Amino acid sequence: MEVKEILKVKGPRVWSVKSSQTVYEALDILVKQKIGALLVYDEQGLVAGIVSERDIMRECYHNKEKFLETSVGKIMTTRLIIGAPSDSVDYIMGIMTQNRVRHIPIITQGRLEGIVSIGDVVKAQLKDSEYDKRYLKEYMFGEHSSEAAKE
């Protein structure tokens, strides 16, 4: 399965903030949208990084009194790890695991296609394994067997 299949189901919507916005404003979006990361744009409208729950927690730990007033630009992750729609889900899972990230922007020729989370990847892998399991049962027992019909 390729990432583009995840994006077909999930859609292209990506929530974002500007680097000049506060951590509180970022938290407001994260909580209301029930998501774990936001893409960050600079004042020229270019992608500058990503800010995640982890980034916010680190800032909270180091700056307890004023972390909500801190600008997103000061705490965001600037080293973006990106994927392509044609990447396999297994490849993206490997990249996420190796780099210890939970969200990867998907970009084609400089154009943002969407963002994929670890949850999206796990869900896709489970769907793939269910398909494989059913296919093998149908192959072993025939399309109309009682064993295949139970699943």
Place 145 in a pLDDT band, splitting at 50, 70 and 90.
very low
Three-class SS of residue 64?
coil
CA distances from 143 to 113, 127, 140 (A): 38, 20, 9
Does residue 135 carry a pLDDT above 50? Answer: yes
Evaluate whether 18 touches 145 at the Cβ level (below 8 Å).
no
CATH classification of 3-150, choosing from 3.10.580.10, 3.40.50.150, 3.40.50.300, 3.30.565.10?
Answer: 3.10.580.10
Number of other residues whose CB lies within 10 A of the CB of residue 134:
12
**How many other C-beta atoms can be found within 10 angstroms of the C-beta atom of residue 28?**
13
Mean pLDDT of 36-51: 94
Distance CA 39, CA 17 (A): 6
Per-residue pLDDT at 148 exceeds 60: no
